[in-house]
A and B are shown apart, each in its own frame.
Chain A
């Protein structure tokens, strides 16, 4: 494999994010579209840093009610109890399935907060023009992209518990308001990871090599 020191942007080329074809913009400043597949072309995502910040701040706000409000209301013969996510983990642990309790704890509590911290860290380092540990930061970004979907776990758990346990009047389970906030956290952080442009991590590393293809 041959490598040149320049990036596509430094060579004045835009790489299509759908089909990877390189194009040269006809008119700078105007929206350009890939001639092969029709995808909109950008050197870097427009307003990537601002939009990612907005999404993770929104997600961080939703994270609070997601953990404090109940996600499930179980009613059994007249009595009813509400469970938050952590109480659900506790229930799994108490009933002897600690590996599952751990899986749910990691997927629902650790992964969302980890994603918020990781994306925040990436944004701060990009904004400060950090040039160190680019490999580690790129790997961190890929990790965020891959494991992000797993925090949907609890939404599915609640959905199928609710769908299954409808034995009125003996026992029934209804979803709580926490589920919506929880789902919002997952969707917002997934969108944030998609809008963040990992190429920004590398841009500050070689800022003065423009114009040489």
Chain B
């Protein structure tokens, strides 16, 4: 395979479980072999789906000042931004805090279930491609820190209590990397069925195209 960071061609030797392979030129991690069962990421994804529902339905925090009280959820925060005239920012917050992590869990759950079939259906590959984009834009850990800063700011003015939603978001922050670490993406790609049409290797046309690209 070619290193995604520097394009150096290299052969990857069998990796012992729990280990990883690094590029010989740029040192980037190019493959890893997770320890543990194939079902572990599925179990984690199911847990994450349940926790995600809790995180988005229960209040993040309650605030009380002079006999008045208010509470908010993740979606509520985005909605409030939308209502206050910051539509674009509201949409962005909703995307990074709800849609991207939700999409990640939903796609991961579906493709892990699909991956249990043999042969692995083609749509699993298409989903696997999308999962990466959701992962990039899902910012739960950043949101958590943002909420904490907001909490401390508000705490000067009113009494605030962390709600169940807050703990659920905390659990998701741990679950997301756990899914990534236990999921053997390389093995799944290798099991994926695709129409194997051999193309002639080493053609001049291919090399010319390569010259132009560099």
Q: Which A residues lie at the B interface, using CB under 8 A?
A: 1-4, 6-13, 15, 17-29, 35-39, 42-44, 88, 91-92, 95, 97, 100, 103-104, 134-135, 138, 141-142, 149-150, 152-167, 170-171, 174-175, 179-180, 183, 187, 190, 194, 198-199, 201-203, 207, 210-211, 213
Decide if B139 touches A152 in the complex (CB within 8 Å).
yes
Decide if A35 touches B195 in the complex (CB within 8 Å).
yes
Q: Would A180 and B86 be within 8 Å (CB), given that A20-B189, A159-B77 are in contact?
A: yes
Q: Which residue of A is nearest B211, CB measured?
A: A210
Q: Closest Cβ of chain A: how far from B186's Cβ, in Å? A: 8
Decide if A6 touches B9 in the complex (CB within 8 Å).
yes
Decide if B4 touches A17 in the complex (CB within 8 Å).
yes
Label chain A's interface by main secondary structure: mixed
Q: Which residues of B contact A202 (CB under 8 A)?
A: 6-8, 25-26
Q: Contact string, B165-187, partner A, CB cutoff 8 A, digits 1/0?
A: 00000000000000000000010
Q: Would A39 and B129 be within 8 Å (CB), given that A9-B213, A12-B210 are in contact?
A: yes
Decide if A8 touches B154 in the complex (CB within 8 Å).
no
Task: With A28-B208, A163-B79 given, name 17 new contacts (CB 8 A).
Answer: A8-B2, A8-B8, A20-B4, A20-B30, A21-B189, A24-B200, A36-B189, A37-B189, A38-B129, A42-B213, A155-B89, A155-B92, A158-B150, A163-B81, A165-B63, A165-B158, A170-B68
Q: Which residue of A is nearest B10, CB measured?
A: A3
Decide if A19 touches B28 in the complex (CB within 8 Å).
no
One of B32-40, B45-53, B141-149 contacting the partner: B141-149
Decide if B146 touches A159 in the complex (CB within 8 Å).
yes
Contact of A28 among B65, B129, B206 (CB under 8 A): B206
Q: Would A170 and B212 be within 8 Å (CB), given that A15-B2, A17-B4, A100-B152 are in contact?
A: no
Q: Which residues of A contact B17 (CB under 8 A)?
A: none
Q: Closest Cβ of chain A: how far from B118's Cβ, in Å? A: 17
- Taking CB atoms and an 8 Å cut-off, the chain B residues in 92-144 that contact chain A are 92-93, 96-97, 125-126, 128-129, 132, 136, 139, 142-143
Whether B164 sits at the interface, judged by CB under 8 Å, is: no
Docked complex Cα distance between A192 and B50 (Å): 34
Q: Closest Cβ of chain A: how far from B81's Cβ, in Å? A: 5
Q: Closest Cβ of chain A: how far from B114's Cβ, in Å? A: 14
Contact of A11 among B78, B147, B210 (CB under 8 A): B210
Q: Which residues of A contact B8 (CB under 8 A)?
A: 3-4, 6-8, 202
Can you pick out 21 interface pairs between chain A and chain B where the beta carbons lie within 8 Å of each other? A1-B12, A8-B9, A9-B7, A10-B214, A19-B128, A20-B186, A23-B199, A25-B209, A28-B208, A43-B210, A43-B213, A134-B26, A153-B142, A159-B80, A160-B150, A167-B68, A180-B89, A183-B92, A210-B210, A210-B211, A213-B202
Q: Which residue of A is nearest B200, CB measured?
A: A24
Decide if B77 touches A163 in the complex (CB within 8 Å).
yes
Contact of B201 among A24, A38, A203 (CB under 8 A): A24
Q: Would A9 and B97 be within 8 Å (CB), given that A160-B72, A183-B92 are in contact?
A: no
Q: Contact string, B61-95, partner A, CB cutoff 8 A, digits 1/0?
A: 10101101010100011111100111011101100
Q: Which residues of A contact B145 (CB under 8 A)?
A: 103, 150, 153, 156
Decide if A194 touches B136 in the complex (CB within 8 Å).
yes
Q: Which residue of A is nearest B132, CB measured?
A: A18
Decide if B70 touches A104 in the complex (CB within 8 Å).
no
Q: Which residue of A is nearest B202, CB measured?
A: A213
Docked complex Cα distance between A27 and B11 (Å): 26
Docked complex Cα distance between A141 and B13 (Å): 27
Q: Which residues of A contact B85 (CB under 8 A)?
A: 174-175
Contact of B2 among A7, A91, A150, A156 (CB under 8 A): A7
Docked complex Cα distance between A49 and B58 (Å): 45
Q: Which residue of A is nearest B88, CB measured?
A: A180
Decide if B70 touches A167 in the complex (CB within 8 Å).
yes
Docked complex Cα distance between A36 and B11 (Å): 19
Docked complex Cα distance between A32 and B201 (Å): 16
Q: Which residues of A contact B54 (CB under 8 A)?
A: none
